[in-house]
Amino acid sequence: MMNSIQRRLALVSIVVLLSLLSLTGLILERTYRDSVVAGVQQELQPVIYALMGVAQQRQGSLQFSNNLSQPRLQQPDSGLYALVTLGTDGRDEEGWRSPSLAMADQALAEQISEFARRANTVLSQRLVFAPSTGAANLYCLSNRVDWEGLLEPTVAFVLCTDRAPYRQSMTQFRYELIAGFGALSLSLSLMLLIVLRWGLRPLRHIRQQLLLLEQGDRQSLDAVQPLELAPLVDSLNQYIAHQSALRNRHRQSLDDLSHSLKTPLSVLRLGVAESDPDLALLQEQVARMQSIVDHQLSRVARIAQAEAASEQPWVDIDVIIRKILRALAVAYPSHQFDYLAVDDWQLRIHEDDLLDMLGNVMENACKYGGGQLQVSVHAPSEASSSTLQIRIEDDGPGIASALTEAVLRRGVRFDSREAGQGIGLAMVSELLAIYGGDLDFATSSQGGAKVILSFQQARLGPGSLAN
Structural domain range at position 131? 6-168
Looking at the structure, tell me whether residues 213 and 139 fall in a common domain: no
Confidence of residue 463 (pLDDT cuts 50, 70, 90): low
- Which residue type sits at 369? G
Last residue of a domain, one of 122, 152, 168: 168
CA-to-CA distance for 208 and 206, rounded, in angstroms? 5
Looking at the structure, tell me whether residues 120 and 206 fall in a common domain: no
Q: Please indicate, yes or no, if residue 173 is contained in any of the structural domains.
A: no
Strand ranges, E, within 38-89: 55-58, 61-64, 80-86
Q: Please indicate, yes or no, if residue 16 is contained in any of the structural domains.
A: yes
End-to-end CA distance of the chain: 76
Q: What is the pLDDT of residue 92?
A: 61
Give DSSP secondary structure letters for 29-49. Answer: HHHHHHHHHHHHHHHHHHHHH
Check which CATH number belongs to the domain holding 426 and give it: 3.30.565.10
Q: Are 95 and 154 in contact (CB under 8 A)?
A: no
Among residues 385, 319, 327, which one has the least CA distance to residue 349? 319
Q: Please indicate, yes or no, if residue 230 is contained in any of the structural domains.
A: yes
Q: Please indicate, yes or no, if residue 31 is contained in any of the structural domains.
A: yes
Q: Please indicate, yes or no, if residue 281 is contained in any of the structural domains.
A: no
Mean pLDDT score, 113-136: 56
CA-to-CA distance for 229 and 206, rounded, in angstroms? 10
pLDDT tens digit sequence for 319-328: 999 999 999 9
pLDDT tens digit sequence for 149-208: 666 667 888 888 888 888 888 889 889 988 988 898 888 888 888 888 888 777 778 778
Looking at the structure, tell me whether residues 241 and 334 fall in a common domain: no
Mean pLDDT score, 94-108: 81
Looking at the structure, tell me whether residues 138 and 13 fall in a common domain: yes
Q: What is the pLDDT of residue 419?
A: 41
Residue 74 CA from chain centroid, whole number: 76
Looking at the structure, tell me whether residues 163 and 22 fall in a common domain: yes
Strand ranges, E, within 383-437: 388-394
Q: What is the pLDDT of residue 131?
A: 43
Check which CATH number belongs to the domain holding 102 and give it: 3.30.450
Q: What is the pTM of this model?
A: 0.44
pLDDT tens digit sequence for 270-283: 665 555 556 676 66
Q: Determine what percent of the chain is predicted with pLDDT higher than 90.
A: 11
Q: Please indicate, yes or no, if residue 264 is contained in any of the structural domains.
A: no
Looking at the structure, tell me whether residues 435 and 323 fall in a common domain: yes
Last residue of a domain, one of 212, 246, 280: 246
Q: Are 142 and 124 in contact (CB under 8 A)?
A: yes
Looking at the structure, tell me whether residues 452 and 343 fall in a common domain: yes
Q: Looking at the 3D structure of the chain, how many domains does it have?
A: 3
Looking at the structure, tell me whether residues 211 and 162 fall in a common domain: no
Is residue 225 scored above 60 in pLDDT?
yes
pLDDT tens digit sequence for 55-66: 877 766 677 776
CA-to-CA distance for 326 and 321, rounded, in angstroms? 9
Looking at the structure, tell me whether residues 161 and 232 fall in a common domain: no
Q: Are 145 and 168 in contact (CB under 8 A)?
A: no
Mean pLDDT score, 325-338: 91
Higher-confidence residue of 381 and 390: namely 390
Among residues 372, 361, 365, 381, which one has the least CA distance to residue 453? 361
Partners of residue 155 on adjacent β-strands: 86, 145
Q: Please indicate, yes or no, if residue 11 is contained in any of the structural domains.
A: yes
CA-to-CA distance for 414 and 397, rounded, in angstroms? 10
Q: What is the pLDDT of residue 259?
A: 65
Looking at the structure, tell me whether residues 106 and 32 fall in a common domain: yes
Strand ranges, E, within 361-426: 372-378, 388-394
Q: Are 347 and 309 in contact (CB under 8 A)?
A: no
Confidence of residue 376 (pLDDT cuts 50, 70, 90): very high
Looking at the structure, tell me whether residues 86 and 229 fall in a common domain: no
Q: Please indicate, yes or no, if residue 276 is contained in any of the structural domains.
A: no
Distances (CA, A) of 246 to 106, 252, 349, 435, 437: 99, 10, 22, 18, 21
Q: Mean pLDDT across the chain, nearest whole number?
A: 76
Residue count of the chain: 467
Q: Determine what percent of the chain is predicted with pLDDT higher than 70.
A: 71
Looking at the structure, tell me whether residues 148 and 231 fall in a common domain: no
Last residue of a domain, one of 122, 149, 168: 168
